[in-house]
């Protein structure tokens, strides 16, 4: 189901009013500042959210980039945040909360009651959902014959051919444990000794340790590997073009795209009013149809085109097969895991 811009614009004022109107709103500023990663993300946020917010409120949204944790910390500690809202990595968001760099979100303004409990942090807004998935060359493994889950990804006899994994412990430690028989609901706290032992078995078959999000899809397209991990949205455009790339959602890692309001931000109320628009499942669906990163509202999937829904992590039949990445664990243990990862990668 694809909705028109006219339909969105007509509902803008109603959405803003319905999602947390206060009896006495603070004065409207002439502008607020939104900071994110830039690129296609920024363009689609402008098209789907920002233009209508500006029309409904008369407040200009100034877009900046890139995401920068150090800058966020410096601005807050100086008492003069430039950003009204900023994107932040999900693990960095936990650090930011613990360091007192963000301010709580007001549930009277932003209603997330239909979000999963994992996406209802009192301080961090989860705007979208994405997954690290198992991708495969569908010329090599016809649909239905591909590895289903990480035990089969590790099974080089049944599923021969070169693999690619990310050059980072995030996801790889969990995938190794899943391959070793650990249930999805028992992954955390991660047993790093066990995970690295299992990674030893797959290491000789990994020909490329990818470092950028675009690499896995290109490696599959160029036939350099037959299996790879990667972020679902990076395969989306090629899959729509009927490229020989398939996605397997079994034991994929669910993650959140997140935003915060810096502590002491000017016009934070209006930043929250803007975030309130991101709880609209129809807008979430339009964003998903552009980038394959759906929102967290339970009704989002209902508004995504049936032809595109199979590529979405929140699709019925996909989401039930996955687990939520534990950002709290990674926030506390990530530095040590990276040290071990780098040492392990150098071992012969």
Q: Are residues 144 and 221 in the same domain?
A: yes
Q: Are residues 183 and 283 in the same domain?
A: no
Residue 330 confidence (pLDDT): 97
Q: SS in 3 state form for 48-114?
A: HHHHHHHHHHCCEEEEECCCCHHHHHHHHHHCCCCCCEEEECHHHHHHHHHCCCECCCCCCCCCCCC
**Which tokens is 279 given?**
């709880």
Q: Are residues 234 and 273 in the same domain?
A: no
Helix (H, G, I), strand (E, B) or coil at 173: helix
Q: Are residues 35 and 162 in the same domain?
A: no
Q: Which of 230, 228, 225 is nearest to 213 (CA)?
A: 230
Q: Which residues lie below 8 Å from residue 200, measured CB to CB, with a gap of 6+?
A: none
Residue 237 confidence (pLDDT): 85
Q: Are residues 52 and 76 in the same domain?
A: yes
Q: Are residues 56 and 119 in the same domain?
A: yes
Q: Are residues 206 and 340 in the same domain?
A: yes
Mean pLDDT by 10-residue block, N- to C-terminus, for the chain (348 residues)? 44 47 80 96 97 98 97 97 97 96 98 96 97 97 94 98 98 98 98 98 98 95 98 90 94 97 97 98 98 96 96 95 97 96 94
Residue 16 confidence (pLDDT): 52
For 246, the enclosing helix (H) or strand (E) is strand 245-260
| CATH code, domain carrying 155 | 3.40.190.10
Query: Residue 169: which domain range?
Result: 130-254+313-346
- Tally of domains in the chain: 2
């Amino acid at each position: 189901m694809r909705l028109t811009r006219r339909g969105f614009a007509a509902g803008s004022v109603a959405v803003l009013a319905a999602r947390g109107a206060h009896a006495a709103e603070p004065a409207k500023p002439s502008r607020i500042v939104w900071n994110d990663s830039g690129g296609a993300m920024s363009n689609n946020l402008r098209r789907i959210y920002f233009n209508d917010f500006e029309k409904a409120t008369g407040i200009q949204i100034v877009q900046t980039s890139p995401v920068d944790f150090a800058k966020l910390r410096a601005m807050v500690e100086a008492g003069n945040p430039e950003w009204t809202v900023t994107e932040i990595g999900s693990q960095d968001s936990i650090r930011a909360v613990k360091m007192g760099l963000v301010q709580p979100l007001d549930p009277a303004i932003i209603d997330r009651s239909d979000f999963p409990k994992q996406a209802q942090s009192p301080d961090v807004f989860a705007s979208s959902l994405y997954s690290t998935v198992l991708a495969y060359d569908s010329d090599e493994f016809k649909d239905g014959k591909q590895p289903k889950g990480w035990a089969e990804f590790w099974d080089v006899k049944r599923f021969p051919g070169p693999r690619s994994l990310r050059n980072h412990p995030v996801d790889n430690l969990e995938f190794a444990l899943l391959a070793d028989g650990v249930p999805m609901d028992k992954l955390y706290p991660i047993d790093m000794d066990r995970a690295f032992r299992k990674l030893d078995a797959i290491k000789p078959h990994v020909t490329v340790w990818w470092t950028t999000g675009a690499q896995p899809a290109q490696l599959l397209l160029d036939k350099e590997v037959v299996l790879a991990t990667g972020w679902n949205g990076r395969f989306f455009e090629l899959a729509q073009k009927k490229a020989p790339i398939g996605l397997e959602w079994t034991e994929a890692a669910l993650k959140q795209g997140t935003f915060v309001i810096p502590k002491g931000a000017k016009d934070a109320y209006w930043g929250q009013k803007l975030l309130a628009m991101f709880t609209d499942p129809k807008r979430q669906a339009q964003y998903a149809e552009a980038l394959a990163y759906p929102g967290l509202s339970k009704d989002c999937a209902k508004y995504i085109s049936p032809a595109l829904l199979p590529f979405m992590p929140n699709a019925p039949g996909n989401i039930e097969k996955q687990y939520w990445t534990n950002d709290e664990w990674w926030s506390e243990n990530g530095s040590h895991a990276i040290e071990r990862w780098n040492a392990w990668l150098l071992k012969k």
